[in-house]
Amino acid sequence: MNVVISKELAQATRMSPQELKQELAVLLFQKDKLTLGQAAQLAEMSQLRFQHLLASRAIPVHYDIEDFEQDLVALRKLGRIV
């Protein structure tokens, strides 16, 4: 799915497209809609960089067994682990 944001709305935020992606990723992570890995992917950041972004905003990382299992599945699909 693609989300299209008009130039006017994007300009109103005074944010770059990358910043908008990061804000959306942070919000969805905070609301437990995305795992850490999924949010980092949306933000186009490594998980470590995304964790630093969360820490800079005093947002705790909520990473449970289900999140871990979902990340393992994603890594297997990418061929990063066997």
Question: What does the pLDDT read at residue 33?
Answer: 94
Mean predicted confidence (pLDDT) in 61-79:
86
Are 20 and 10 contacting, i.e. CB atoms less than 8 angstroms apart? yes
pTM across the whole model: 0.71
Nearest by Cα to 35 from 4, 74, 2 = 74
Band (15; pLDDT cuts 50, 70, 90): very high
- The string of pLDDT tens digits covering residues 33-63 is 998 899 999 999 999 999 999 999 999 887 7
Round the average pLDDT of the chain to a whole number and report it: 90
Q: What percent of the chain has pLDDT over 70?
A: 99
Phi, psi (degrees; rounded to nearest 5) at 73:
-60, -45
E-assigned strand segments in 1-82: none
